[in-house]
Structures are given as C-alpha cells and as structure tokens.
Structure 1
Amino acid sequence: MAHPAQLGFQDAASPVMEELLHFHDHALMIVFLISTFVLYIIVAMISTKLTNKYILDSQEIEIIWTVLPAMTLVLIALPSLRILYLMDEINSPLLTVKAVGHQWYWSYEYTDYEELGFDAYMIPTQDLAPGQFRLLEADHRMVIPVEAPIRILISADDVLHSWAVPALGVKMDAVPGRLNQMTFISSRPGVFFGQCSEICGANHSFMPIVVEAVPLEHFENWATKMLEDA
C-alpha cells in the first residue's frame, strides 16, 4: 500500500514485482553512471582540457563511444529479457479469473466455478468504514489463494480500460472484443489495491481494483459462501 510522500515503489507482493524492482535499481544505476560520465565530459570540455583536435579526432575515442553504448544496451537487455520470460504464460494455473471493465466498475467471473461471479463498485466516501481508503475500496474484493499461480483474463464491455495492481506487478489493457491474459503469484497474504490505468471517461478515477490474497483454506470457504449466496 502506498503512503503519503512516498517516492519509491510499493512493497513487492509477487516474485515478478521483486524482479521488476531489482531491474529498476539496476537500470537506474546505469543511468546514474552515464549521467555522471557525460557531466564530467562537459565540464572537462568547458575547461578546454578535451578540446584538443588530436583528442577529438582520435580513433580510440570513436571506438570507446561506440563500444560502451553497445555494452550498456546488453547490460540492460539481458535482465529485461529474463523478466519477460518470467512473466510468460503458465500452462496449468490453479485458478482462472476473468475481469471485465465497464464504465465505471469491474466485474469478475471465476471460470473454474459455474456460478461464481460479481460486480465490484467503488464504495462512496460517505459509506466508508473506519480504516478504509477513499477512492480505493470496492464493495467486493477479488479473492485469490496465496502462493498459487493465477491466470487472469482481461477484457472490456464498452471502452478501453486497464487492469493494474502495482504491488503484484501486473498491468494489462482491457480492450473491447479482445481477451488479453496474464499470470501472477501472490507471495504473501494481504490486500492489494489498484486502479484503472486507462483514461476511460468521466468516472475513470472511480473504478478501483482490490485483490485480497488469503490461504487456500480461507479461499475455499469464501468461494463456498459466495456460491451459497448466489
């Protein structure tokens, strides 16, 4: 969960998000080193130490500023490709959930169950209980078992939406007439908040996403209760 004046990312709640945080720090360090080197070159040129024509026309300098960027791209590309493979589709998920974006709410269907589905609307400010978060709480949470591979199918009923939960490292566009999919694993129990990340109309900022990761036994009890209520 984010907190006031936060500068960094939310705490990772999935293996993919942990890898994304490591990659962010890795890339940021490379950018910092490049910026420092370029600043040094600029300062040195201003002081006329590098304006000598024999240095500027040097073959060695041309080799360096060709090879170094190529090596930098490799250092960024290798961990990036690794994360892409980690985010790839899994063959046998424990649970499949279909999320459909509407103006302006989300509906969820648990495809492994025959009649388990519900709509999730934002709770109005005046109806919030003590301790609940404004603009982030929904009347129904998407409940999933912890430490289990989850496949989520994402689509939209009207306009473009985007299903995004930062702590889980997931973000996927919901496109009308198209079924996108992604997978994730929640590495710890908790409640994780997200929002539609596509400008989808007047109430774009009022369709939150709430994912609750619970132990498998609790998830089974919740699913049984939801089916009985249905």
Structure 2
Amino acid sequence: MKKFLAGVGALLPVLAASSAFAAQPQPWQMGFQPAASAIMEDIRWFEQYTLVFIVPITLLVLALLAWCIIRYRASTNPVPSRTSHNTLIEVIWTVGPVVILLFLAVPSFQLLTAQYNPPEEPTMTIKASAVQWSWDYEYQDEEPLTFSAFMLQEGDREAAGKEDLAQYPRLLAVDNEVVVPVDTTVRVLVTSNDVIHAFAMPAFGVKVDAVPGRINETWFNATKEGVYYGQCSELCGKDHAFMPIAIRVVSQDQYDTWRAAAQSDLNGANRALMAAVDNKNVADAGN
C-alpha cells in the first residue's frame, strides 16, 4: 500500500504539469473540446441553450406521432375524420414556431456578431497560408517572422523532444507550433496557395475557410496557457487528414523571449520555450 501511495504521489506532479496542455480530440468524444476563449464559452452556452428547445420539441413530436399511430389506426378508427381546417391548431403551429425561432435567432445573431467583431483592436496579426498539405505562418509586425508547420513524423519525435504522446499526440503534433501570448487578441488572416482548405481551432471557437486568391479574417483571444490542436476542416486532397494546426499559448514574458530568439534561430527558440514551459509546470505542481 505504501508503494502504491508513493507511486501516486510521484505521478501527481506529472499529471499537474500535463494539465496545462489542452485541448485535443479525445476517443469517442461527443461534445466540444474544453473552451479556451470567451467566444468558445459562448458557443458551448448556446449549444446547451438550444437543447432546452430541441429536446422538448423532439419528445412532443414523438408523442404526437405515437398518439396518432395508436389512436387513429384502422382497426380502432375505421371511418377517418373529414375535418380539413382547425383555426386554433393552425394558429398554434404558426405562432409557436415563430416564437421559438425568435428565441433562437436573437442569441445566435449576437454570437455571430461577436465572432466577427473583436472587443478590442488586435495587438498582433498572423497570416496562415494553407498548402497541400501543411501551413505557412507569417507574423506581421516590425520584424516579420515566417515558417512552415508540418505534421510531426513518428521518427522525428526524439530529435524534436516531443516523445510524450499526451502532450504531442499522434497525427496532431507539428514540428513548429504557432506561439501566442495568453490574454492577447490575435488577428488571423487565412488564405490558401492551391485549393480550398479550412483553418479550425475548436478550443478557440475558430473555423474559417482558406480560399485561393482571397484573404479571410478571424480572431481569437486565448485565456488559458497550453498547446491547442485543430485540423484542416475542408476536404483538400489525399493528405487532408494529415494537416494539423497547433497553437502554443504562453505567458507574455515567455512569448517575448521566444519571439526575439525565433528571429534568428526558430528551432532553438522552440526548444528553449518547451524547456521553460515544462520547468514552470513542474514548479507549479510542486507548489
């Protein structure tokens, strides 16, 4: 028993450290990923809100169908009714759906408006260009930084320092993550260099098409540090399933350090950032 408790105690720091890494798809997942932005929180709320209407309506329709099938079957109702009009019923089934649609439409349009209108002017802009089958990123500031992000191959994990499948899952981890500071409004310009793709980051509530010859704009403000995973969400060819998106959200100080180093040595900056994040997680777990 003592050995078991000691083993559990040794695992607690690791589990606490890993908790900073979210979010990603889970096996047999039926709901949304945990929200990491205010917009995604609103999306999750709206999902629950719509269920308040969907569930009773579904049960009502099911009950009415069952009642009609049993009550008006040929054996018990050999002479069917010839009634063709019922004013009360027609008023109910006209006004009722209109009222329900209004209750759905108002918060829906409010959410849609918020998705296209950030609450503040974005402090940084990143251009994401889709390519069959990877992503090119450009930090558009005084000293532009550009790099490509490819899905991490299994044979490259050790060299990249990304052996932990919990933090860097198979088919989702990339060689170079997009790095952004937490609690910062980020503008993302999305386009494509060949066919139609889609930039999707579920934990942020972001999904926008990448169309050749066109630039679509979206934004996010990540509220929790960690590594977040998305994928191309538009069928774009044979390797569509191998085109992941990874965004690492860090503190402002960690971002500033990474950004200064990445200008001349991206790989070195990524390794230093990973080490700093891992050390912070372990320290936090120790507290």
Q: Provide the C-alpha distance between the structure 1 equivalents of 2:245 and 2:208, rounded to a whole number of angstroms.
A: 13
Counterpart of 2:110 in structure 1 is 82
Q: 1:217 aligns with which of 248, 253, 256?
A: 253
Q: Provide the C-alpha distance between the structure 2 equivalents of 1:56 and 1:16, rounded to a whole number of angstroms.
A: 48
Higher relative helix content: 2
Q: Give TM-score scaled by structure 1 length.
A: 0.93
Aligned structure 1 segments of 4 or more residues deviating by more than 3 angstroms: 51-57
* 2:37 is the alignment partner of 1:14: yes
* 2:62 is the alignment partner of 1:33: no
Counterpart of 2:223 in structure 1 is 187
Counterpart of 2:285 in structure 1 is none
Q: Provide the C-alpha distance between the structure 2 equivalents of 1:217 and 1:224, rounded to a whole number of angstroms.
A: 11
52-61 or 88-97, which deviates more: 52-61
Q: 2:164 aligns with which of 130, 137, 148?
A: 130
Q: 1:108 aligns with which of 122, 134, 137?
A: 137
Counterpart of 2:269 in structure 1 is none
Q: Provide the C-alpha distance between the structure 2 equivalents of 1:3 and 1:152, rounded to a whole number of angstroms.
A: 26
* CA separation of 1:113 and 1:210: change in aligned 2, threshold 3 A: farther
* CA separation of 1:55 and 1:17: change in aligned 2, threshold 3 A: farther
Q: Provide the C-alpha distance between the structure 1 equivalents of 2:82 and 2:60, rounded to a whole number of angstroms.
A: 21
Residue 130 of structure 1 aligns to which amino acid in structure 2?
A: D
Q: Give TM-score scaled by structure 2 length.
A: 0.75
Residue 80 of structure 1 aligns to which amino acid in structure 2?
A: S
Counterpart of 2:16 in structure 1 is none
* 2:147 is the alignment partner of 1:145: no
Counterpart of 1:154 in structure 2 is 190
Residue 32 of structure 2 aligns to which amino acid in structure 1?
A: F
- For the pair shown, which has the larger CA radius of gyration, 1 or 2? 2
> Any unmatched runs of 5+ in structure 1?
none
> Any unmatched runs of 5+ in structure 2?
1-23, 158-162, 267-287
Q: Provide the C-alpha distance between the structure 1 equivalents of 2:240 and 2:206, rounded to a whole number of angstroms.
A: 19
Higher relative strand content: 1
1:101-140 CA-partner distances (Å, limit 9, x unpaired): 0111101000014231111011112323233211101100
Counterpart of 1:119 in structure 2 is 148
Q: Provide the C-alpha distance between the structure 2 equivalents of 1:108 and 1:215, rounded to a whole number of angstroms.
A: 20
37-46 or 176-185, which deviates more: 37-46
Residue 71 of structure 2 aligns to which amino acid in structure 1?
A: T
Give the superposition deviation at 1:55. Answer: 8.0
Is the contact made by 1:55 and 1:61 (CA closer than 8 Å) also made in structure 2? no
Q: Provide the C-alpha distance between the structure 1 equivalents of 2:140 and 2:39, rounded to a whole number of angstroms.
A: 24
Q: Provide the C-alpha distance between the structure 2 equivalents of 1:145 and 1:115, rounded to a whole number of angstroms.
A: 17
1:159-201 CA-partner distances (Å, limit 9, x unpaired): 1111101111101111111010001110111110011111111
Alpha-carbon RMSD across the aligned residues, in angstroms, is: 2.0
1:66-98 CA-partner distances (Å, limit 9, x unpaired): 111101111110110110121123462011000
